[in-house]
Amino acid sequence: MTRFALTLEFDGGPFMGLQRQAHGPSVQQALEEAVMAVTGETVVMHAAGRTDAGVHALAMKVHVDITKPFTPFRLMEALNARLRPAPIAVLACRAAPDDWHARFSCVGRAYLYRIVNRRAPLTLERGRAWQVAKLLDEAAMHRAAQALVGRHDFTTFRSAHCQAQSPVKTLDRLSVEREGDMVLIEAEARSFLHHQIRSMVGCLAMVGLGRWREEQLREALEARDRQALGLNAPPDGLYFVRAVYPDE
């Protein structure tokens, strides 16, 4: 049996999320069915992170264990052929050690949130970014964001459905910058709470719109109360961009 590490790119729009769901299609279901079609084997996909309905990935790391002999290139090509026309692509494939695990071996995760800051309707970016029509002050957003960097109790930014044992997380980086009419928010940590990034982005947008003072982001954090949340950003603009492993 060989453990294959796969790097996936996908558009989360058609899916109920990355993980298999009883109430709709998922990326996991699509990949597992593709493996079955190629190998005749029933496998379970394990992923570096979880994504909600509508959330995308540029480089999600996953693994599957396959008994039938395959070269990584042949498996990648076969899976991509079977996945069509679903918006999922296997970007890379390699044989991994038996003790390597896409989730448990991962020591860092990075996400990107994209906001299109313009009045004109979205065309090419529809479903792939959050449109905010009023001009955002990205410099104020970046300054406010630094209050969240470090080890904190992120209860305010945690979904009521979060299954993490503790609301305490260490946020390694949270940056905001502008490229034309695109405001880009990057977040890095070992792990995140359910809806943490979308909740942080929503509150940063409140700062950028002038509806919150910069200090209110720290106040919301210190409240440790979901009722202090200003806004939960939609899933459209969120992308899983990188999983970090000690051996890479």
Catalytic residue check, 247: no
Q: First vs last Cα of the chain: how many Å apart? A: 23
Distances (CA, A) of 245 to 19, 105, 149, 170: 21, 6, 21, 17
- Catalytic residue, chosen from 11, 52, 172, 181, is 52
**Rg of the chain, C-alpha, whole Å:** 19
Distances (CA, A) of 221 to 110, 172, 214: 21, 16, 12
Q: Which of 53, 163, 151, 170 is nearest to 109 (CA)?
A: 170
Q: How far apart are the C-alpha atoms of 64 and 62, rounded to whole Å? A: 7
Instruction: Report, as residue numbers or ranges, the catalytic residues.
Output: 52
